[in-house]
Amino acid sequence: MRISELNGSNSCYFERVPEKLVLEGYRRWTSGYETGSVIPWEMAWTLYAEALGIAAGKQALAELSHFIRVLRHCAACPLRCFPFDSHHVCREECLTLGLISAMQNGDEATAQTCLTAISCAVRCDEVAEAARIFAGTLAEFGQTLLPIPKHAIDDILFRPKRATFH
């Protein structure tokens, strides 16, 4: 799926700073865990510091780190992602974008759909709290994602799974 398909336009959804902070932050932080290298984490720091400034970037990155740590611990399946700066998104990336967007835009139905799909049932509350804090921190710094309609998330969830991306 191309990112532009999420909002039905031909413009690149990924070029928006809020979406880039969430998606590239997710990719880079997850990659740091997967590779054991600090280089992706340093890349995430650079992204956040350039977009938000040093102080705000530090706070937002701390909340991203917490969110990803909780999500990794509570995920229903291994977290997957495309390489940095890809204009495609996998299922887990869509669910992460959908969850943070829903939290910021007060869309409880979409948030619950994303939570149920990405986290194990007994850990949904932990993931929801970490996502809510991360989403709120981004919003506090003027970085609100566009709403992602529930039907777009449902479409992603009911598609056949494809090859795993790391």
pLDDT digits (tens, 9 = 90+) for 71-81: 988 776 777 77
Mean pLDDT (the chain) is 87
The answer to whether 81 and 31 have CB atoms below 8 angstroms apart is yes
Closest CA to 21 of 61, 67, 81: 61
Closest CA to 104 of 72, 86, 131, 69: 131
Is the model's pLDDT at 156 over the cut of 90? Answer: no
pTM, full prediction: 0.86
Query: Is residue 120 one of the residues assigned to a domain?
Result: yes
Angle, in degrees to the nearest 10, between helices 124-140 and 54-74: 170
Query: Is residue 133 one of the residues assigned to a domain?
Result: yes
Query: Is residue 30 one of the residues assigned to a domain?
Result: yes
Query: Is residue 3 one of the residues assigned to a domain?
Result: no
Domain range holding 81?
14-157
Is the model's pLDDT at 6 over the cut of 60? Answer: no
Specify the number of domains making up the chain: 1
pLDDT at 2: 44
Query: Is residue 137 one of the residues assigned to a domain?
Result: yes
Ramachandran assignment for 36, one of left (phi > 0), alpha (psi -120 to 50 degrees), beta (any other): left
Query: Is residue 28 one of the residues assigned to a domain?
Result: yes
Query: Is residue 82 one of the residues assigned to a domain?
Result: yes
Radius of gyration of the chain (CA): 14
Query: Is residue 35 one of the residues assigned to a domain?
Result: yes
In this prediction, residues 108-123 reach a mean pLDDT of 92
Q: Which residue has the higher pLDDT, 71 or 9?
A: 71
Largest CA distance in the chain: 42
In this prediction, residues 22-29 reach a mean pLDDT of 95
